[in-house]
Structure 1
Amino acid sequence: MTRPGGGGPGIPMGGVPGEKARSFKPSVKRLGGRLATRRLSLVVIFAAAVGSVVLTALSPRILGHATDIIFSGVIGKSLPDGVSKAQAVAGLRERGDGTFADMVSSMNVTPGTGVDFGALGSTLTLVLVLYVASALLAWLMSLLLNVTVQSTVRELRTEVEDKIHRLPLRYFDTTPRGELLSRVTNDIDNVSQSLQQTISQLLNSLLMVIAILVMMLIISPLLSLIAIITVPLAVLATAMVAKRSKPHFLAQWKSTGALNAQVEEAFTGHEVIKVFGRAQEVADRFDERNESLYASSWRAQFISGIIMPTIMFLGNLNYVAIAVVGGLRVASGSLSLGEVQAFIQYSRQFTQPLTQIGSMFNLMQSGVASAERIFDILDAEVEDADPESPKVPVGDAGEVTVDDVSFSYRDDAPLIEALSLTARPGHMVAIVGPTGAGKTTVVNLLMRFYDVDSGTISLDGVETRDMTRADLRERTGMVLQDSWLFGGTIRENIAYGDPDADDAAVMAAARAGHVDHFVSILPDGYDTVIDEEGGGVSAGEKQLITIARAFLAQPRLLILDEATSSVDTRTELLIQKAMQALRADRTSFVIAHRLSTVRDADTILVMEGGKIVEQGSHDELIDARGAYFRLYNSQFAGTVTADTDG
């Protein structure tokens, strides 16, 4: 069979889709655009951040005033009592202590008077109020930012989920499930964490840099110039490191997706791996991809981690220069001790947000790399839209007409060419042929999982491309070779075929699908809970549940793709009898390898190389002694010839 995603013609397998890395700026702009839809919250967040930063920036200056009060009190106590400040300064100059005299002349000091504790208490109380108000505004900003970011990520996750349902089957055929799961889970979570942490840190840090710079300029333009010298050096270092770390973060998340795909594949096929003794090979492949993830991760983290120590080193050099020059300015009387103390505190606070901005680039690069992988999904080409004025077949006869249909998965590898057939209402059409002949592809075209390249497929006289996909599939029931169950009870899994069905209808479908004979011996019966992998029931029992689900749907068009391949011969005979009742007045397409299951088909289509080479009833095809005759003999007479290989 041609099985999309399973090695069918034209379908590339096993690789992560090629990723073309976009630049940093467009991805950040795109994320920012999603946040910008909540303008009111962003305005309040920004206002709260500004208020918090301004109050925080004012505090060191006021604390410097408290230092001046204490220092003035200590100096004043050391001067003679009963003289004026001018007389005390003159006396100091007469003693030859000119430097001390210059410092006293610039101070607000009263000779003989100690520390003014009343003024000191009022100043410290004001600082405490500023710190409390700043903390409350910061808390408000954090709360609103958390709500804004999480709401944005929730919408992003919803949009990705919606997009996945609108992607064509071709996308899933060419994308490993583990890779897709990694993008939908790991990458979205990483974007959430990155937005939450970086926006808060960057907003605070940028505002703090501006506020502190203003305060430093007010205190001393000269010292401010010394402090600012380190800024372009820090920005240059950050930009260089960020540029070098970006490719490694992309490689890190790409390797994460590949590793997840490997783990998902190994866990799903665990029994097969054990049976064929390939555990070591799987382990080696895991080690290889794990090593690739390790290499890209440590490079990304190491290179981006250089930013913080570099900025800290520049900040320490800046601190030494300010301390030396500031001390000289205090000695000359140009600045007070409190002003220099406040400036040194500002200089440390000035380098701290720069350090935080640098360290945030680590997280930002990782988050943007994940965002780009998510945008790859959102930008993927979706299915062609349904027609604006869809047609609806008149009646529910279920006649299917395939007229001169051609289709290929790749332009350079033709698969189905000039296929024509007619399935009459109530007829059973069996499709047989060697592997790769195009049997499952025909089903995919009937269901519009893929659209034909040329020709038409019609249901009751209406071309399927003129119908909505929902309408087409609502009229169709399908049972695949690979059964799919979801986590829930057996009753719920059967009812999936028709959510509006009552319990009596569910039980009738279960009996028709021969589910009842094994459910009756289960302790909880139809309320037995099974997991997503169908744990607790055998492969054949899972298949019976999916068949009962199709019975319950009561479709006009029934498609069975090796639907009885997992059941025993006796159960298969029972199901075939049930199928005969189900197929009454319905058109059915049956794909089968075991030709014994299709002997009673009204029409048997024999496919080879994407073409129908024979068609007719079982007896007619046996009498023709052609391709079907050879296939039949290969199964029941043991005469395998070169013509039947495929």
Structure 2
Amino acid sequence: MIRLLKYLRPYMWPAIFSIIFVFLQSMANLYLPTLMSDIVDTGIVKGDLPYIYKMGALMLVVTLVAGAFTVIANYLASKVATGFGRDVRNTMFEHVESFSLKEFDQVGTSSLITRTTNDIAQIEQVYMMILKMMTMAPLMCIGGIIMAVYKDAKLSLVLVVTLPLLIAGISILAKKGIPYFKVIQKKMDRLNLVLREELTGIRVIRSFNRTKHEINRFDAANWDITQTSIKINQIMAAAMPLMMLIMNLSTVAIVWFGGLRINSGNMQIGDLMAFIQYAMQIMFSVLMGAMMFIMIPRAQVSAVRVNEVLGIQPDIRDTEGLMNTTAAGEEQGVTFHDVAYGYPGAEKPALSHITFTARPGETTAIIGGTGAGKSTLLNLIPRFFDAVSGSISINGTDVKEIPLEQLRSMIGYVPQKAVLFTGTVADNLRYGNDQATDEELAEAARTAQADEFIREMSDGYQSVIAQGGKNVSGGQKQRLAIARALARKADIYLLDDSFSALDYRTDARLRGELAKTTREAVLIIVAQRVSTVLHADKIIVLDDGAISGIGTHHELMETCPVYQEIVASQLNKEELA
């Protein structure tokens, strides 16, 4: 938690004033029993009504002032804690956005969600408790002891017995409860993981009639975290009766021995009443301090988890400043030179000895079997991964020397799984180019064969896309994703198997329009279907992570056995279709 204190610096003055107002509130609360004692001993015993009214009015004023101090202190503490939480969440989100796919796989999406929400909320709550109780608990305890001794030193010996009992009871409960705090956050990760999988995979779950299985799976994860929460709450539930028992026995002892002292003339009734209140304040302050120290270990677990994420250094480092990506005398386009890449922990590399150039104005297609490394190759260009060896250059400049923002602004990317965001169709198409005009959006949509179905929607380009694009079909989603990339007017277009949901006729029309629109850009298409790559200027055939052939369709039909097998396996399907 100490490492996160730097996020409290912008709120230093509100935090200081919060502590000051807590101090003033504590002083006012410590003064009230003394006023009550004076009313009883001087006003009631002597029958002095004016004195009772006077001191009663003073008590009312002190109470109102204490209440005002409490409200202000709580407001400032809340402002500090919630501001801290907001800043840490923003910082964490910004840091996570810089992660490569490797770091996302390392931590896990569900765990990142838990750490950004639940863990930070735990820390935020404890900081609020610290601001409110860190000053109040010791002040009330020390001040209460001083005032109790001032009222009657001998009667204070009761507290010498009860306070150690109170502290011992709290320590035992804390020792039993703290280990569960460390476990519950990991179980929260598990619950989020199961929930996320079930919500995103609902269609698959229903299609395989696995709804009951998934309900049982969620129930198991939910039951697991519930049992841990019950154990924590059982321990915490035992705390209050135990504390109240000790406090009530203390009150009985104070009244018993106080009565004896009143009977002997060594103490007045008002002083005994004040003493009881000071004793309660002392024990409540010990209880508040204990609860704070019980909560701190749980927040510490959360702080460690947050710091783990903030401490991860992205595998892909950015380059400072802008660079000219057009080097004089260098070959234009995207060039791979003896590139290799392997996933962490994999037995063999996903790509090896990849060498080719994709030039502007040409269509470069990549085809191969499942797991051949097609998507991996494409992901190396925008640096979602970095090559283990070899180099990738754009217009002669290594991609590692180009700032990430500049590099990715040059690319119009269409992922294998089309992703749309909540908002209008126009909002989605402008995602990569917020300056695009309505005419430019329409032109991009026409090229992507999306304009017709967009205009048939209820509000055209202002029609709302549901979360995840659930209100459009797979083919429509792919065409919108292609239109979004085209609206960017990029130098390089990367289409990762973006025609798989399209029929052959739409596929052919889209490719024809795409070739016209991208005459001056590099166009790299990853595809499974031969018909998609048939008319490409250059076809790269991947087999088990290596290039087995490069050429046109006719050249590869004569020289590349792997390509011949792919064509032979698909021609029958296409003819049947």
Please tell me the TM-score bracket, short chain as reference: over 0.9
Tell me the amino acid that sits aligned with residue 531 of structure 2.
S
Q: 2:132 aligns with which of 197, 200, 213?
A: 200
CA distance in 1, matches of 2:16, 2:572: 81
1:115-130, aligned counterparts within 5 Å?
115-130=47-62
Tell me the amino acid that sits aligned with residue 402 of structure 1.
F
Which residue of the partner structure matches residue 545 of structure 2? Answer: 610
Q: In the alignment, does 2:36 pair up with 1:63?
A: yes
Tell me the amino acid that sits aligned with residue 74 of structure 2.
S
CA distance in 1, matches of 2:180, 2:342: 38
Indicate if the aligned counterparts of 1:390 and 1:466 stay in contact, CA closer than 8 A: no
**1:219, distance to aligned residue in structure 2 (A):** 1.5
CA distance in 2, matches of 1:250, 1:403: 49
Tell me the amino acid that sits aligned with residue 239 of structure 2.
I
Q: 1:520 aligns with which of 427, 442, 455?
A: 455
Give SS of 1:520's match. Answer: helix
Q: 2:390 aligns with which of 445, 448, 455?
A: 455
Q: In the alignment, does 2:80 pair up with 1:142?
A: no
CA distance in 2, matches of 1:232, 1:494: 68
CA distance in 2, matches of 1:579, 1:160: 39
Indicate if the aligned counterparts of 1:512 and 1:548 stay in contact, CA closer than 8 A: yes
**1:125, distance to aligned residue in structure 2 (A):** 2.0
Name the TM-score, length of structure 2 as normaliser: 0.93
CA distance in 1, matches of 2:166, 2:105: 47
1:247-646, aligned counterparts within 5 Å?
247-361=179-293, 363-388=295-320, 391-394=323-326, 399-411=333-345, 413-415=347-349, 416-637=351-572
Indicate if the aligned counterparts of 1:307 and 1:358 stay in contact, CA closer than 8 A: no
Give SS of 2:188's match. Answer: helix
Give SS of 2:519's match. Answer: coil
- Report the CA distance shift for 1:417/1:240 in structure 2 as closer, same or farther (over 3 A): farther
Which residue of the partner structure matches residue 98 of structure 1? Answer: none
Which residue of the partner structure matches residue 172 of structure 1? Answer: 104
Indicate if the aligned counterparts of 2:18 and 2:132 stay in contact, CA closer than 8 A: no
Indicate if the aligned counterparts of 1:425 and 1:585 stay in contact, CA closer than 8 A: yes
Tell me the amino acid that sits aligned with residue 470 of structure 1.
E
Indicate if the aligned counterparts of 1:304 and 1:359 stay in contact, CA closer than 8 A: no
**1:368, distance to aligned residue in structure 2 (A):** 4.0
Q: Percent identity?
A: 29
Give SS of 1:605's match. Answer: strand
Tell me the amino acid that sits aligned with residue 19 of structure 2.
F
CA distance in 1, matches of 2:393, 2:171: 60
Indicate if the aligned counterparts of 2:367 and 2:539 stay in contact, CA closer than 8 A: yes
1:7-156, aligned counterparts within 5 Å?
27=1, 29-70=2-43, 72-73=45-46, 115-156=47-88
Give SS of 1:306's match. Answer: helix
**1:60, distance to aligned residue in structure 2 (A):** 0.5
CA distance in 2, matches of 1:33, 1:335: 52
**1:31, distance to aligned residue in structure 2 (A):** 4.5
Residue segments in structure 1 that go unaligned for 5+ positions in a row:
1-26, 74-114, 639-646
Give SS of 2:344's match. Answer: coil
Which residue of the partner structure matches residue 244 of structure 1? Answer: 176
**1:188, distance to aligned residue in structure 2 (A):** 3.2
**1:118, distance to aligned residue in structure 2 (A):** 2.0
Give SS of 1:38's match. Answer: helix
**1:312, distance to aligned residue in structure 2 (A):** 2.2
**1:175, distance to aligned residue in structure 2 (A):** 4.3
- Report the CA distance shift for 1:490/1:395 in structure 2 as closer, same or farther (over 3 A): farther
Q: In the alignment, does 2:118 pair up with 1:186?
A: yes
Tell me the amino acid that sits aligned with residue 323 of structure 1.
V
Give SS of 1:285's match. Answer: helix
- Report the CA distance shift for 1:291/1:462 in structure 2 as closer, same or farther (over 3 A): same
- Report the CA distance shift for 1:47/1:199 in structure 2 as closer, same or farther (over 3 A): closer
**1:609, distance to aligned residue in structure 2 (A):** 2.2
**Segment drifting more, 611-620 vs 361-370:** 361-370
How many residue pairs get aligned? The number is 571
- Which string of whole-angstrom CA distances, capped at 9 and with x for unpartnered residues, describes residues 339-377 of structure 1? 112101211222122233344455545444434333332
Indicate if the aligned counterparts of 1:305 and 1:359 stay in contact, CA closer than 8 A: no
Task: Report the aligned-residue RMSD.
Answer: 2.3
**Segment drifting more, 390-399 vs 41-50:** 390-399
CA distance in 1, matches of 2:5, 2:109: 29
**Segment drifting more, 569-578 vs 187-196:** 187-196
Indicate if the aligned counterparts of 1:249 and 1:365 stay in contact, CA closer than 8 A: yes
- Which string of whole-angstrom CA distances, capped at 9 and with x for unpartnered residues, describes residues 522-571 of structure 1? 22111111122213321211111111111111111111101111122221
Indicate if the aligned counterparts of 1:330 and 1:337 stay in contact, CA closer than 8 A: yes
Indicate if the aligned counterparts of 2:155 and 2:257 stay in contact, CA closer than 8 A: yes
**1:197, distance to aligned residue in structure 2 (A):** 4.6
CA distance in 2, matches of 1:427, 1:459: 15
- Which string of whole-angstrom CA distances, capped at 9 and with x for unpartnered residues, describes residues 202-250 of structure 1? 5433321122112112112222232143333333333343233223123
Tell me the amino acid that sits aligned with residue 38 of structure 1.
Y
- Report the CA distance shift for 1:342/1:381 in structure 2 as closer, same or farther (over 3 A): same
- Which string of whole-angstrom CA distances, capped at 9 and with x for unpartnered residues, describes residues 414-464 of structure 1? 312222222223222222222112111111111111111121111100011
CA distance in 2, matches of 1:430, 1:514: 20
Tell me the amino acid that sits aligned with residue 524 of structure 1.
D
Indicate if the aligned counterparts of 1:198 and 1:364 stay in contact, CA closer than 8 A: no
Give SS of 1:221's match. Answer: coil
Indicate if the aligned counterparts of 1:195 and 1:367 stay in contact, CA closer than 8 A: no
Tell me the amino acid that sits aligned with residue 550 of structure 1.
A
CA distance in 1, matches of 2:520, 2:337: 23
Name the TM-score, length of structure 1 as normaliser: 0.83
Give SS of 2:535's match. Answer: coil
